[in-house]
């Protein structure tokens, strides 16, 4: 639901990107008042699945993404979208490690 709504906003309202202070600043001019609510729903949709996964290591991934969001919110308030996406892309390497560990063949001694 959140992605459908945000997709609609991206197609219906102006968005721009500017380089400011070595960061990308996105201007999202949505004509919607509860922007904080939509932002919170996006955060929940992005982070919560890792905590409900049956794969134990996914919880660590969720914690890392949550910490990176909090750090971005505190230190890079004007560049949340670009900086948090950067952190998330770096952290997503952990997904590769999790998948590699899950698919590694188990050595059996018979």
Looking at per-residue pLDDT, the higher value among 52 and 101 belongs to: 52
Q: Does any domain span residue 108?
A: no
pLDDT of residue 71: 92
- The number of beta carbons lying within 10 Å of the beta carbon of residue 41 is 15
DSSP bridge pairs for 26: 17
Model confidence at 110: pLDDT above 60: no
Segment of 16-30, 32-46, 66-80, 89-103 carrying the highest mean pLDDT: 66-80
Q: Does any domain span residue 53?
A: yes
Number of domains forming the structure of the chain? 1
Q: Does any domain span residue 109?
A: no
Q: Does any domain span residue 79?
A: yes
Q: Does any domain span residue 22?
A: yes
Q: Does any domain span residue 32?
A: yes
Per the structure, the complete domain to which residue 19 belongs is given by 2-103
Looking at per-residue pLDDT, the higher value among 98 and 18 belongs to: 18
Question: Given pLDDT bands bounded at 50, 70 and 90, which one contains residue 46?
Answer: confident
């Amino acid at each position: 639901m959140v992605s459908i709504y945000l997709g609609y906003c991206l197609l219906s309202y102006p968005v721009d990107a500017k380089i400011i202070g070595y960061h990308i600043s996105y201007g999202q001019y949505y004509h919607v008042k509860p922007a904080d609510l939509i932002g919170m729903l996006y955060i929940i949709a992005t982070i919560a699945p890792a905590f409900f996964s049956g794969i134990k290591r996914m919880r660590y991934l969720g914690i890392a993404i949550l910490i990176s969001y909090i750090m971005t919110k505190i230190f890079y308030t004007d560049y949340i979208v670009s900086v948090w996406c950067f952190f998330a892309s770096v952290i997503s390497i952990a997904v590769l490690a999790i998948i590699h560990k899950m698919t590694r063949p188990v050595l059996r001694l018979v």
